A and B are shown apart, each in its own frame.
Chain A
Amino acid sequence: MANENTALRKPLVHISRRSDVTKKTMIITKAICIFVAFLLCGLISTVVAPGSFLDFYLYLYEGTMFSRNTILATVWNAGLLLLIAAAITPAFKMKFWNIGAEGQVLMGCLGAAIIMKFVAPSIPNVLALLLMFVVAAVFSMLWSFIPAFFKAIFNTNETLFTLMMNYVAMGIVASFSLRYKAPTSTSIGIINQDTRLGWLPEIGGYRYIINIIVVIVMVVLVWGYLKFSKHGYEISVINGSERTAEYVGINVKFVTIRTMLVCGLVCGIAGFLIVAGASHTVSDVVVGGRGFTAVMISWLGHFNPLEMMLYALLNAFITTGSNNAAGNLGYSGEVAKVLSGFFFLAILTSEFFINFKVKLNISFKKKDATNANFEGGK
């Protein structure tokens, strides 16, 4: 027989699923993981710019919460992320992996910008805004309809399809802005800067207020749609199993297309808000990767609007804040991206410790094995 030592050695790491996860464990584990990520950010900053540990947090604060305007900008950034995350959630809930929000929102931006530039100067402003909204929605819905249609009819892979459509949208928008760029610039520039035609009004002298209100209303609507409507019920059934859906007579293909049109509609609203209420221009980077970040926010937030809101705020806070820190401490803005990545990793890590118990079997002496218990969140 094999010698006794090897025969009796227990596995080094014993991972088992937790029986009942309480809300308390969940929150504490997440808080600890996010706090650790927070500390790590400062440490990384210190490595890149020596001695900047405390300064980093100072600039983080300054960049996000210094004045009402910075606070509003941070909240709007978070709100936009949240809105796009809410837009793709219905599709995700029926396991249609739509990672094309970037392109869908961008097409909405393009639609709104076209009206803003060419039509808005010749019609009343209210009508212009309405038309911008409608065209943005139609453009976005077209962009979400195409992959849904091919999925329904030819069963194409929606992940690759929607991903590819992002780059097509970027190409179209890049060509558009090249064709209509301002004479002295390489981009299209702020549209109607002097007349402010097709711009959403500022309330009380502050920007973004209307945007933030629309975001909140839309997120509540999407949440209600999923939870209380017959459409939402059909989506949940398909999420459970497509066979079940067929068994009870739900037309999966039809629901796929319908749900993606809803996604497109909300993406169109996001595009409209970007152009009419924030950037007032269009370029291939105007969405700035939020369509992809939103995928993570929707997924990590378990499609729960409150959790999604928390992560969107966290992401906006870190991205804006560490960009400010990067500028002031003299390192590249790319570092800021790394730092926001840490937070997603932290949230992912917390998911693991919430669901699993990790037990290490470390024997310090040969015969006297001691068990060390490491439990996440305790």
Chain B
Amino acid sequence: MKKELTIVLKGISKSFGGVVANQNVNLELYSGEILSLLGENGSGKTSLMNVLAGIYYPDEGEIFYYGERIEIKSPADAYKYHVGMVHQHFKLVDTFTAVENVVMGLKRKDYKAIAELEGVPYRGYNLKESARRMEEICKKYGFKVDPWQVVNTMSVSEKQTLEIVKVLFRGVNVLILDEPTAVLTPQETEHLFNVLRNMKKAGKSIIIITHKLNEVLEISDRVAVLCKGTIAGDILTKKANEEILTEMMVGRKIDLNIHRGEIPAANVRMKIQDLSLTNRDGRRVLKNISFEVNGSEIIGIAGISGSGQKELLETIAGLNKNTEGTIIFHNPKKDKPVTFYHKDIKQIRELATQNKFYHRDDPKKQPIDLTNVSNKQLIEMVNNEEIIFYEDEIMDLKGKKPLEIRDLGIKLSFVPEDRLGMGLVGNMDIIDNMMLRSFRKGKGIFLEKKQPEQLAEKVVNQLEVKTPDLTTPVKKLSGGNIQKILVGREISSQPKVLMVAYPVRGLDINSSYLIYHLLNEQKERGAAIIYVGEDLDVILALCDRVLVLRDGEIAGILNCRETNKIEVGLLMTKNNKEENANG
């Protein structure tokens, strides 16, 4: 087929307030090609495509459609020129059926226009006819969607398919997909790519926005790389490789290896047994979860989104009620002196009755009897570090609130998925965010800001946070810098257990590797790390073991050094499909 220029973007600029999203971008798209728009988060990929899809109106620049200058003021205008976009976050009405979602907003004249475009006779304006046409489209490209299925019963990949069908139904020549594989398993991704190849054969042009290099190399014909809002270059895929593309994206060479250290002999830090959670709607979101986390180990948690990853971490952190099972924490206290930092005299008395102490100078480590020692003497002994823990503390954290866990002296850190909605307060400055966990320290009703300020300075310097000063509200910083502040705060307490959820989501390559490096450092220090991630390649390279969650249950625990992406991907979905087939 002869390649024609379909869309040309010329000198597109768009800024939001002081933030320049795109600056003088030129882009060409040919018919029958798959163009990858590659770039780091925040490089302006999505906003550029939103300009083409009519969501944003550009501040400057021109758009040409088959050589003709056009103005796109709304998504309806975009469809007039047969441009359709599938957004990263689905725009579907959950309580409607598939076909209702597809026809939403279409008028009789649109149906006539579509029929004219496709060169078929106009056959009516109703749901039944629409469902028939939907099935036609599915058959042509190899989709599987039931027009009469209600959206809220669909899986993520079915919703994605529906979004694509919705766009195709409107008769597009140019299809834009924003991060379509972010929520898909490797198998589903492969299927989507096959569909895209079919569409390409049918002469459609496809723009796929992504930041995953391997996908770019697999699916596209040509790659346009965006960097800081401008086009850094455009290259035929067959001439490209990962190194070249990274260099174009980042502007310099980067070492793409994660250096995973070997793990010493297992020493259990946390043991989770038969953990179940019922959420507010009465649905069981975690079902009989049992696993162990060892010190000096990173355990990865994989699963399609919404399989209970978030709930698992939040339950361990003490944020959920209605839990069953046990979360046993082995607090490594053995051969260490007790302090009044986390224990009061009453707690020490209690531990003494359980024979938890021996005398510092006793080589045989015989438990000592403290019943006849007065409080005053005991305080002195503790302050002089004379009494030493005989063994590790074993505690059940289930049902304990975050503050109670902290009061027990357990150093459990948690980097939540929602950085500004949970881990940090966007409107507060860096110093105030540093004291989120420690602001209660000190007597009196007023805040003590000196230590948080020192910590803020330390984190900013060590993690190279780019900020004008320490009093800048954190929401004004970039995603990578925000994450550095959050991770920096959480590891500053030298945690025994560190839980991180999607720590590199939205981060540029450089910041991502800095985070991996920090996690490895914590692992070497002896921390037990639970890492929830979405990129299987990273999980397999970074973690020691991977726990696959499926629908709130453990589908399997694999050794990362011995497994591969396909195996993990299969575990993520296997039973679901069987159940669907049966039900």
- One digit per residue, 1 when the CB lies within 8 angstroms of any chain A CB and 0 when it does not, for chain B 403-416 equals 10010000000101
Is A231 an interface position by the 8 A CB rule? yes
Q: Chain A 337-365, CB within 8 Å of chain B: the 1/0 string? A: 00000000000000000000000000000
> Does B380 have its Cβ within 8 Å of any Cβ on chain A?
no
Contact A10–B447 (Cβ < 8 Å): no
Give the nearest-CB partner of B80 in chain A. A2
Given the interface contacts A18-B17, A230-B439, A249-B402, does A240 sit within 8 Å of B71 by beta carbon? no
Given A8-B69, A247-B319, A248-B436, A240 and B426 contact (CB-CB distance below 8 Å): yes
Q: B341 to chain A: which residues have CB within 8 Å?
A: none
Give the interface SS of chain B, mostly helix, strand, loop or mixed: loop
Which of chain A's residues have a CB closer than 8 A to the CB of B69? 7-8
Q: Return the chain B residue nearest A240 by Cβ.
A: B425
The reply to whether the CB of A17 lies closer than 8 angstroms to some CB of chain B is: yes
| A18 CA / B15 CA spacing, docked (Å) | 10
By a CB distance below 8 angstroms, the chain A residues around B436 are 237, 244, 248
Alpha-carbon distance between A231 and B17 when the two chains are bound, in angstroms? 34
**Contact in complex: A249, B425 (CB < 8 Å):** no
Structural contact, A236 and B422, CB atoms closer than 8 A = no
Q: Taking the nearest CB of chain B, how far is it from the CB of A58, in angstroms?
A: 45
B445 interface residue (CB < 8 Å to A): yes
**Docked CA distance A234–B437 (Å):** 11
The answer to whether A68 has its CB under 8 Å from any CB of chain B is no
Q: Measured between C-beta atoms, what is the minimum distance from A353 to chain B in Å?
A: 15
Contact A241-B422, Cβ < 8 Å, known A19-B18, A229-B445, A247-B414: yes
Asked if B4 is at the interface (CB within 8 A of a chain A CB), the reply is no
Chain B window 5-32, contacts with chain A (Cβ cutoff 8 Å), 1 for yes, 0 for no: 0000000000111110000000000000
Say whether A243 faces chain B, with CB atoms less than 8 Å apart. yes
Say whether A10 contacts B319, CB under 8 Å: no
B-contacting residues, A1-48, CB 8 Å: 1-2, 7-11, 14, 16-20
Given known pairs A10-B71, A246-B319, the reply for A233 and B16 (CB within 8 Å) is no
Residue-wise, chain A 119-141 has the 8 Å CB interface mask toward B (1 for contact) of 00000000000000000000000
| A246 to B, closest residue via Cβ | B319
Q: In the complex, which residues 71-125 of chain B have their Cβ closer than 8 Å to any Cβ of chain A?
A: 71, 73, 80
State in angstroms the CA–CA spacing of A338 and B425 once bound together.
40
A187 interface residue (CB < 8 Å to B)? no
Please state if B73 and A17 are interface contacts (CB–CB under 8 Å).
no
**Given A17-B16, A228-B447, A230-B446, A240-B428 contact (CB < 8 Å):** yes
Q: Which of B19-78 contact A (CB under 8 A)?
A: 19, 57, 59, 68-71, 73
Considering the chains assembled together, what is the distance between the CA atoms of A236 and B473 in angstroms? 13
Contacts of B422 in A (CB 8 A): 241, 243-244, 247
Question: Given A16-B59, A20-B18: A241 and B421 within 8 A (CB)?
Answer: yes
Query: Is there an interface contact between A236 and B427, defined as CB atoms closer than 8 Å?
Result: yes
User: Which B residues are CB-close (under 8 A) to A8?
Assistant: 69, 71
CB nearest to B435 among chain A residues: A233
In angstroms, Cα B152 to Cα A271, docked, is 53
- Measured CB to CB, the nearest residue on chain A to B74 is A11
In the complex, whether B418 has a CB less than 8 A from a CB of chain A is: yes
A249 to B401, Cβ gap below 8 A? Answer: yes
Determine whether A52 belongs to the interface, using a CB cutoff of 8 Å to chain B.
Answer: no
Cβ-based interface call for A279 (8 A): no
B440 at the A interface (CB under 8 A): yes
Contacts of A236 in B (CB 8 A): 425, 427-428, 432
Instruction: Say if the beta carbon of B423 comes within 8 Å of chain A.
Output: yes
Q: How far is the CB of A377 from chain B (nearest CB, A)?
A: 16
Q: Roughly how many angstroms separate A18 CA and B17 CA in the complex, as a whole number?
A: 5
How far does the alpha carbon of A259 sit from the alpha carbon of B446 in the complex, in Å? Answer: 16
Give B502 Cβ to nearest chain A Cβ, in Å. Answer: 15
Residues of B within 8 A of A70 (CB): none
* A199-240 contact mask (Cβ, 8 Å, vs B): 1 or 0: 000000000000000000000000000001111011011011
21 inter-chain pairs at a CB distance below 8 angstroms, sorted by A residue, are A1-B68, A8-B69, A8-B71, A10-B73, A16-B17, A18-B17, A228-B446, A229-B446, A230-B446, A233-B432, A236-B428, A240-B420, A240-B426, A243-B421, A243-B422, A244-B421, A244-B425, A247-B319, A247-B416, A248-B437, A249-B403
A-B pairs, 10 with minimum CB distance: A240-B425, A19-B18, A249-B403, A249-B402, A17-B17, A243-B422, A19-B17, A229-B445, A248-B436, A241-B421
Residues of A within 8 A of B (CB): 1-2, 7-11, 14, 16-20, 228-231, 233-234, 236-237, 239-241, 243-244, 246-249
- 10 more A-B residue pairs beyond the given contacts A16-B17, A229-B445, A240-B427, with a C-beta to C-beta distance below 8 A: A10-B71, A11-B57, A16-B15, A17-B17, A237-B436, A239-B425, A240-B424, A243-B421, A248-B436, A249-B406
